């Protein structure tokens, strides 16, 4: 069982590495925001706006991951003692 968890962890790390290395740069904003911001011609403001959008993504992802971990631990409590 321990071998399977290490194997799964290695798979997840390799998959994330491949996704990060093969991704192309994208702007984290909708097309309407992009159109409004590009008319200003202020590159620094546009970069900071992109970072702000990504920062706003952190709380929902954290909440989702926390719920997933709690559910995974609850489900795992009944099956871990079968070793």
Q: For the segment 15-63, what is each residue's pLDDT rounded down to a tens digit?
A: 888 877 876 666 555 777 767 777 766 777 778 877 888 888 899 999 9
Which residue range forms the structural domain that includes residue 45? 2-82
- pTM of the entire predicted model: 0.44
Task: Please count the structural domains in the chain.
Answer: 1
Kindly report the backbone phi and psi dihedral angles of residue 25, in degrees, each rounded to the nearest multiple of 5, phi listed first: -65, 135
Question: What are the counts of helices (DSSP H) followed by strands (DSSP E) for the chain?
Answer: 3, 0
Alpha-carbon span 3 to 9, nearest angstrom: 10
Alpha-carbon span 39 to 62, nearest angstrom: 34
Helix axes 43-76, 31-38, angle to 10 degrees: 160
Alpha-carbon span 75 to 10, nearest angstrom: 22
């Amino acid at each position: 069982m321990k071998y399977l968890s290490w194997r799964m962890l290695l798979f997840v790390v390799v998959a994330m590495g491949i996704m990060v290395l093969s991704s192309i740069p994208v702007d984290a904003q909708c097309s309407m925001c992009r159109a409004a911001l590009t008319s200003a011609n202020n590159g620094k403001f546009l970069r900071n706006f992109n970072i702000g959008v990504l920062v706003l993504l952190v709380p929902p992802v954290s909440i989702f991951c926390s719920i997933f971990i709690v559910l995974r631990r609850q489900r795992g409590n009944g099956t871990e003692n079968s070793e």
